[in-house]
C-alpha cells in the first residue's frame, strides 16, 4: 500500500465522514439523445433543472468548494450554476472528450486555486433524483472503509447502456467496463456504475494523471481512474438503497418515465399525510408545494412552484396553481392561478385566470371567465363572471356585475382603479383608470365611469337609444338590388 493510502487510513473516520472538502459536478455534455437545443442538464424536472437539483443535494453536504464543469453551451450552463450559487467555481473543459478529461480539467484548475485537498465528491448532473441522503451514505461508507476511492452503484434489471461494476473474488472493485467495451460475461453483470464517486484528493490526482482514450468511444473515461486508484489503496463500492435516486436521464422517454415514478411517490407521500388525491395518475405536484391535511386535489390538477394549500381546501378538477397560496376551505375549480393569494372559503372558477399579484380575501368570489391581475379584493366581495379586473382595489361586500372591465392601460402606463365597499356595479360597466368610486355607490348597467364618484351616490351613463325601422345590412341590400 502506498504512502497515500497509509496516510488516509490514519485519518479519523468521524471527521472524514462529517466533512466533504470538494464537490465536482459534471455538466459539460450536450445530451444528444435529448434532441434539444437546450443542454440536457438544464431540462426541467418537477419544477427545477437537473443541474439545480443535483447542486442542491450536493450543497446539503456543505462542501468547502463546489465546482461545475461546463463545455457545451458553456456560458448558458455556467450562468444557471451561478444563479443557484454565485460562489460556485466554473471549470471549462477543453475539446478533449470524456468524463475523465472533465475531472482532469477540474483538478488542474482547483489545484491552481489552492482548493484541492481532502475528500472529493464527483457527481454527474443528469440524475434529477440524486438526494442528499444517498450522498451522505456514500461519503460515510468511504470514510468508514478508509477507501482510496468509492463508487456509488445500483442493481438494475435492465442494465443496458450502463457501465458494469466488475469485482474480484473478495468483492473489491476491479474496474468498471462501459457498455460498448464489455464482453458477454461483463454485460451479464447487473451492478452498474451511477457516475458518482468519492476519492481521496491525492489518489484522484495521481489516478487521472495519465488517462488515455484507447476505447470504443475514443473518450477519456473517469472509470479508468478507479482501476488506477487500486495502486494507492482500497477501491470500494456502496450500493444505493434506492435505484430511482441514481437513475440517469439520456432521452425524453427516460425523462417521462422517471418523472412519473417520482410524481407517484410525491402523491403517495401527501396522501399518507392526510391529503385526498382522487387520481394520482393525472395529478402532478412539484417538490416545493405544501398541502395541509384534509385538502382535496381533484383530477387533472398541476401544483407548481411554492404553492401552498390550506386545510380543507378543494383544488380542481383541471386546475393549475403556480406559486399560489390557497387558504383553508377555499375552492378553486378549472382555473389557472399564479402568484395569487386566495383567502379562506373563497370560491374561484370555473375558467378563471388569476395572473400574478392578486390578493383575494376571505369569502370572495372570482367566477366564470374572470381575469384578474394585481387586484386586491376585500372580504366578501364578488366578481361572478365575464370580467377583467386589473390594477384594482375593491372594498368589502361589493358585487361586480357581469361584463365589467377596468380599463387600466392608457398606452403608456398601467393606472389604478379604486372601488369602495358595498358597491353595486351594474352589468357591462367600464371603469377608465385612474378613477375612484366611493362606498355605497350603485352604477347603472352599461355605464362608462371616467371620473371619480363620491360615496353614497348613483352613477350611470345616459346613452340615447336609436331605432332605424326597416334597416337591412349593406350585403342584403346589394343582394336585393342584384336580384332586381
385 assigned to active site: yes
State the sign of the Cα–Cα–Cα–Cα dihedral 424, 326, 295, 379: negative
- Burial letters 227-263, b for 16+ CB under 10 A, else e: bbbbebbbbbbbbbeebebbbbbeeeebbeebbeebb
Strand intervals (E) in 169-319: 173-177, 191-200, 235-239, 276-277, 284-285, 290-291, 296-297, 302-304, 308-309, 314-315
The answer on whether 28 is annotated among ligand-binding residues is yes
The answer on whether 365 is annotated among ligand-binding residues is no
The answer on whether 93 is annotated among ligand-binding residues is yes
The answer on whether 193 is annotated among ligand-binding residues is yes
Of 341, 376, 385, 466, the catalytic one is 385
What's the CA gap between 399 and 396, in Å, rounded? 9
The answer on whether 126 is annotated among ligand-binding residues is yes
The answer on whether 7 is annotated among ligand-binding residues is no
Residue 153 β-bridge partners: 193, 239
With H, G, I as helix, E, B as strand and everything else as coil, classify residue 82: helix
The answer on whether 99 is annotated among ligand-binding residues is yes
With H, G, I as helix, E, B as strand and everything else as coil, classify residue 105: helix
The answer on whether 27 is annotated among ligand-binding residues is yes
Q: Please tell me the total number of residues recorded for the chain in this structure.
A: 484
The answer on whether 327 is annotated among ligand-binding residues is no
The answer on whether 226 is annotated among ligand-binding residues is no
**C-beta contacts of 359-367 below 8 A and 24+ residues apart:** 361/396, 362/327
What's the CA gap between 398 and 389, in Å, rounded? 13
Find out whether 411 and 394 touch, Cβ atoms under 8 Å: no
The answer on whether 440 is annotated among ligand-binding residues is no
What's the CA gap between 432 and 121, in Å, rounded? 61
What's the CA gap between 118 and 121, in Å, rounded? 10
The answer on whether 479 is annotated among ligand-binding residues is no
The answer on whether 463 is annotated among ligand-binding residues is no
The answer on whether 201 is annotated among ligand-binding residues is no
Distances (CA, A) of 185 to 2, 236, 254: 32, 21, 26
The answer on whether 411 is annotated among ligand-binding residues is no
The answer on whether 250 is annotated among ligand-binding residues is yes
What's the CA gap between 478 and 469, in Å, rounded? 18
Task: Write the Ramachandran bin of 358: left for phi over 0, alpha for psi from -120 to 50, otherwise beta.
Answer: beta
What's the CA gap between 318 and 348, in Å, rounded? 13
Feature table: binding site for Mg(2+): 126, 250
Feature table: binding site: 26-29, 40, 93, 98-99, 126, 163, 178, 193, 250, 355, 373, 388, 399, 408-409, 445
Feature table: binding site for UDP-N-acetyl-alpha-D-glucosamine: 26-29, 40, 93, 98-99, 163, 178, 193, 250, 355, 373, 388, 399
Feature table: binding site for acetyl-CoA: 408-409, 445
Just list the catalytic residues. Answer: 385
Amino acid at each position: 500500500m502506498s504512502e497515500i493510502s497509509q496516510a488516509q487510513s490514519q485519518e479519523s473516520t468521524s471527521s472524514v465522514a462529517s466533512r466533504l472538502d470538494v464537490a465536482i459536478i459534471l455538466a459539460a455534455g450536450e445530451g444528444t439523445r435529448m434532441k434539444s437545443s437546450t443542454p440536457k442538464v438544464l431540462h426541467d424536472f418537477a419544477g427545477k433543472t437537473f443541474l439545480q437539483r443535483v447542486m442542491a443535494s450536493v450543497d446539503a453536504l456543505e462542501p468547502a468548494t463546489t465546482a461545475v464543469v461546463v463545455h457545451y453551451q458553456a456560458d448558458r450552463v455556467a450562468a444557471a450554476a451561478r444563479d443557484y450559487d454565485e460562489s460556485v467555481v466554473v471549470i471549462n473543459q477543453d475539446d478533449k472528450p470524456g468524463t475523465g478529461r472533465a475531472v482532469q480539467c477540474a483538478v488542474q484548475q482547483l489545484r491552481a486555486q489552492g482548493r484541492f485537498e481532502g475528500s472529493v465528491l464527483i457527481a454527474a448532473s443528469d440524475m434529477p433524483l440524486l438526494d442528499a441522503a444517498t450522498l451522505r451514505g456514500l461519503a460515510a461508507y468511504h470514510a468508514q472503509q478508509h477507501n482510496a476511492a468509492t463508487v456509488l452503484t445500483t442493481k438494475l434489471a435492465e442494465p443496458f447502456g450502463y457501465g458494469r461494476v466488475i469485482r474480484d473474488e473478495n468483492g473489491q472493485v476491479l474496474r468498471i467496463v462501459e457498455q460498448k467495451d464489455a464482453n458477454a460475461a461483463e454485460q451479464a453483470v447487473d451492478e452498474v456504475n451511477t457516475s458518482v464517486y468519492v476519492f481521496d484528493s491525492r489518489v484522484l490526482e495521481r489516478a487521472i494523471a495519465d488517462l488515455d482514450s484507447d476505447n470504443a468511444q475514443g473518450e477519456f473515461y473517469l472509470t479508468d481512474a478507479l482501476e488506477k486508484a487500486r495502486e494507492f489503496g482500497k477501491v470500494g463500492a456502496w450500493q444505493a438503497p434506492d435505484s430511482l435516486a441514481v437513475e440517469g436521464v439520456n432521452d425524453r422517454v427516460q425523462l417521462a418515465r422517471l418523472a412519473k415514478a417520482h410524481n407517484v411517490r410525491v402523491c403517495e407521500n401527501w396522501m399518507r399525510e392526510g391529503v385526498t388525491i382522487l387520481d394520482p395518475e393525472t395529478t402532478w405536484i412539484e417538490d416545493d408545494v405544501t398541502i395541509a391535511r384534509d385538502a382535496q386535489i381533484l383530477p387533472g390538477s398541476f401544483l407548481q412552484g411554492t404553492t401552498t394549500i390550506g386545510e380543507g381546501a378543494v383544488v380542481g378538477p383541471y386546475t393549475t396553481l403556480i406559486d399560489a397560496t390557497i387558504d383553508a376551505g377555499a375552492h378553486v375549480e378549472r382555473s389557472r392561478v399564479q402568484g395569487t393569494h386566495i383567502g379562506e372559503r373563497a370560491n374561484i372558477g370555473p375558467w378563471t385566470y388569476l395572473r400574478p399579484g392578486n390578493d383575494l380575501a376571505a369569502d370572495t368570489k372570482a367566477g366564470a371567465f374572470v381575469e384578474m391581475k394585481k387586484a386586491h379584493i376585500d372580504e366578501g366581495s364578488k366578481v361572478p363572471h365575464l370580467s377583467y379586473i386589473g390594477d384594482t382595489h375593491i372594498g368589502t361586500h361589493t358585487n361586480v356585475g357581469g361584463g365589467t372591465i377596468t380599463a387600466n392601460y392608457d398606452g403608456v402606463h398601467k393606472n389604478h382603479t379604486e372601488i369602495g365597499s358595498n358597491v353595486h356595479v351594474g352589468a357591462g360597466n367600464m371603469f377608465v383608470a385612474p378613477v375612484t368610486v366611493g362606498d355605497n355607490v350603485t352604477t347603472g348597467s352599461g355605464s362608462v365611469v371616467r371620473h371619480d364618484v363620491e360615496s353614497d351616490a348613483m352613477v350611470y351613463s345616459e346613452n340615447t337609444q336609436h331605432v332605424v325601422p326597416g334597416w337591412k345590412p349593406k350585403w342584403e341590400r346589394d343582394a336585393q338590388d342584384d336580384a332586381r
